[in-house]
Amino acid sequence: MSPAAVTGFLKARMSREGYFGLHLTLGALLLIVATWLFGMIAEGVNTGEPLTQFDVRFSGWLYNHHQQFLIKTMLVITHLHSMAAATVLTIGFAFYLFTRRHRYWLVTLLLAVFGGMFLNVVLKNIFHRARPLVADPILTFSSYGFPSGHTMVATCLYGVAGAFAIWKFRRWPARTSAVAIASLMVLLVGFSRIYLGAHYLSDVLGAILEGLAWLALCLTATHTTWKVRSRYRS
């Protein structure tokens, strides 16, 4: 391939126009990087590398420094992001998108959240990782721990909300604030799961990366479809 052809190819990938331009490039990069990092964490979980040893030490440190106020706060956060609560939040957001006729955003939301829930169950049953063992657990579970379902769903839900805000708002302060709030909510949900002894740190990090990869796939697929359909309609 000639240098001119390579330059043209790269310019096309960075272009905001067309349906194989910048959005597809960024989506593909996020998908590849997030999947690669998830694979690294998953390998560490399977082989018992130093990451899992740090998991145990970090969870033990948090358990030994529990504060009742923080326990109650984390319980509120984690219960507000259970599968049932996340479903209610998603349906409410979906209703808003439906009434505003944002069809592709509606499809993206439903695919990201509910598809993500299914994907998380599949991965839990692939890795079979036990949850943290503590003497006096705050919460008890019968399912596997890796990756965290609460965190994964929060990543998808707030990820779509953040992406929608970037598309909806034109001013960068509003966009930045929306993304910061969405990121903070994901981190709070993830920390609540570790603090309450429901998951190890790597469970939460893996869930965030799993959610980002799945989110990138959903956003890229629906955006590309929208671009293609718009071009054929014009």
Contact 201, 184 (CB under 8 A): no
Active site residues: 150, 199
Q: Which amino acid belongs to residue 149?
A: G
Neighbours of 109 (CB within 10 A): 27
CA–CA dist 148, 204 (Å, integer): 5
Nearest 5°: the CA angle 86, 219, 33 is 100
Taking the alpha carbons of 71, 72, 77, 78 in that order, is the dihedral positive or negative? positive
Contact 211, 157 (CB under 8 A): no
Stated length of the chain = 234
Question: Alpha carbon 25 to chain centroid distance?
Answer: 19
CA–CA dist 109, 112 (Å, integer): 5
